[in-house]
Amino acid sequence: MTAEGDENYLTTAEVARRLQVKPETIYAYVSRGLLTSIRARGRRGSLFATAEVERLASRSVDHSGVVERIESELTLLHNDNLYYRGHSASTLATTSTVEQVANLLWTAQPLEHPPTTGHVGAGHVGEALPAGAAGFGIGREGVLLARAGMEVVPEGARLTDRLRVAVAVLGAADPLRFDLSVPAVTAAAGRLIGTLVTALPGDYVSPDATLGARLWPKLSSDEPRPELLDATLILLADHGLAVSTVAARVAASARANLYAVISAGLGALDGQYHGAAPTLAYEFLQRAQQDPLKALSDQLRSGEPIPGFGHRIYQHRDPRAEVLLGMLGDHPIVDTITAIAARTPTFPNSDLAIAAIMHAYNFRPDAGDALFALARMIGWTAHALEEYAAPALRFRAMGIYTGQTT
């Protein structure tokens, strides 16, 4: 392409000054498709259309690092409160179903119009739920596939290991997984989560029950309190740009299908500083039940943070923990937490609340990580939908070579 006149075009140096970046960054923009380089007859160097440069300048781009800022309408963390699309997550946890909250995050459908469940006929691989629906349906074929995948892992594997394998198997079996339209993605997400819960080892509960009721016998043999798990799934569904959510968004930016997006999130969640946090809190609380003061003393002596206490974002309280611990009422495990909290300047977080539920109702030791993963799949889906509507491949950090040169 050539440019006959210069009045509507800028040189590389002019673009660099306009965007306040180095000329090398301009070339990176060209390689990413953010700018189009053209040649003018009779002159050296590249030119760039002024209108295109101005459009790029108006976008939320970190020009110094060639990394997009992530703008989202999903989750707000403000003044030690958590909101989903403007709704208090603490209130949603006790007044709405998991399906309603998923629908709110996925489609912004108002809560006064609850979604259809889509249980009937919603389980065949590749079959779509009604447009706009956010139901956790299942199907015999999908459940059998997921269980077959879960059984491949060694006997001592964690539930999250089984979930990762099952997601990959279900994705490979879905011929329509590359349909990234909103109805197709929400249908696939609901079907995936519902199928994973049903396929986990443990007693079967009808898909007509709440997701928490269906999940309970997979984690505990105690008398069910499904409202606890429903509230937990809602409160953990999303938490802004956590590392696993960023991983999911990067995958979605490359137009990876939903199963691959979920797999990316699960990969990051498996890190010891992220998804393993509920297990660390569970183990600490197990020691603390015998002697809270000794457990705290031993932890302080180790020089490591107290598992389940404090938070990088919340300053004075974790609203998710307050809701869940409040639902435990006067259970003795709450007294243990209170005794520890009275001797530390920090506060219980959601990891400790999950650990408390696990101890109170004799959950299997790896239940916390799995619960976290299943809940966060709701949020990853919502973030994927936002990315599918944004320009593709918009995440590219500026690498600085520090190795040996010839």
pLDDT at 196 over 80: yes
* Measured distance CA(181)–CA(232) in Å, rounded: 29
Residues 282 and 358 sit within 8 Å (Cβ to Cβ): yes
CB 115 within 8 A of CB 136: no
Identify the pLDDT of residue 7.
62
For residue 66, what is the DSSP state? T
pLDDT at residue 23 in the model = 83
Read off the pLDDT of each residue in 189-208 and give the average, rounded to a whole number: 95
Domains in the chain (CATH in brackets) are 2-68 (1.10.1660.10)
Question: So what's the pLDDT on residue 112?
Answer: 60
pLDDT in tens, 131-142: 334 589 888 899
Contact (Cβ atoms closer than 8 angstroms) between residue 297 and residue 202: no
Neighbours of 379 (CB within 10 A): 25
For residue 128, the model assigns a pLDDT of 34
Give the pair of three-digit tokens for residue 65: 């690092």
As a whole number of angstroms, the distance between CA 183 and CA 403 comes to 47
Confidence of residue 38 (pLDDT cuts 50, 70, 90): confident
Tell me the C-alpha distance between 226 and 378, whole Å.
18
* More confident: 31 or 244: 244
Q: Most confidently modeled of 68-72, 124-128, 159-163?
A: 159-163
Q: What is the pLDDT of residue 68?
A: 57
β-pair partners for 78 = 81
pLDDT tens-digit map of 83-118: 999 999 999 999 999 999 999 999 998 776 444 333
pLDDT > 70: percent of the chain: 88
70 DSSP assignment: -
Task: Decide: 397 and 66 in contact? Cβ < 8 Å.
Answer: yes
Output the CA–CA distances (angstroms, integers) from residue 41 to 10, 27, 47, in the order listed: 14, 20, 11
Closest CA to 144 of 117, 124, 122: 124
Convert 239-305 into a string of H (helix), E (strand) and C (coil). Answer: CCCCHHHHHHHHHHHCCCCHHHHHHHHHHHHCCCCCCCHHHHHHHHHHHHHHCHHHHHHHHHHHCCC
Instruction: Report residue 80 CA to chain centroid gap.
Output: 20
Mean pLDDT of 236-241: 96
Q: Could you tell me whether strands 2-3 and 38-40 are parallel, antiparallel, or unpaired per DSSP bridges?
A: parallel
CB 260 within 8 A of CB 377: no
More confident residue, 113 or 22: 22
Q: Which range is most confident: 29-33, 229-233, 296-300?
A: 229-233
For 37, half-sphere exposure in the C-beta direction (CA atoms, 13 angstrom radius) is 14
List beta partners, residue 359: none
Buried b (16+ CB within 10 A) or exposed e, 106-145: bbebebeeebebbbeebbebebbbeebbbbbbbbeebbeb
Longest dimension (CA), the chain: 83
pLDDT at 287 over 90: yes
Band of pLDDT at residue 64, cut at 50, 70 and 90: very low
191, 223, 184: which is closest to 207 by C-alpha?
Answer: 191
| Residue 109 in tokens | 């459908």
Query: Which tens digits make up the pLDDT trace of 157-190?
Result: 999 999 999 999 999 999 999 999 999 999 999 9
Q: pLDDT averaged over the chain?
A: 87
3-state helix, strand, coil in the chain (%, to 5): 50, 5, 40
d(CA 53, CA 29): 11
Handedness of CA 174, 180, 181, 183 (dihedral sign): positive
Q: Is the dihedral of CA 233, 377, 245, 367 positive or negative?
A: positive
Extract long-range pairs of 144-148: CB within 8 Å, 24+ residues apart. Answer: 145/169, 145/170, 145/173, 146/170, 146/195, 146/196, 146/198, 146/199, 147/199
| Among candidate residues 359, 392, 385, the one with its CA nearest the CA of residue 238 | 385
* Percent of the chain predicted with pLDDT > 90: 66
- 11: β partners: 47
Dihedral sign computed on CA atoms, order 87, 88, 89, 93: negative
Q: pLDDT higher for 285 or 403? A: 285
Q: How confident is the model at residue 67 (pLDDT cuts 50, 70, 90)?
A: low
Place of tokens 């709701």: 378
Highest mean pLDDT of the ranges 58-62, 111-115, 323-327, 394-398: 323-327
Is the per-residue pLDDT at 33 higher than 90? Answer: no
Query: Using an 8 Å Cβ cutoff, are 320 and 235 in contact?
Result: yes
pLDDT band at 125 (very low <50, low <70, confident <90, very high): very low
Q: Distance (Å, rounded) from C-alpha 32 to C-alpha 27?
A: 9
Distance CA 21, CA 198 (A): 52
In whole angstroms, give the CA distance from residue 36 to residue 154: 52
- pLDDT tens string 304-346: 889 999 998 999 999 999 999 999 999 999 999 999 999 999 9
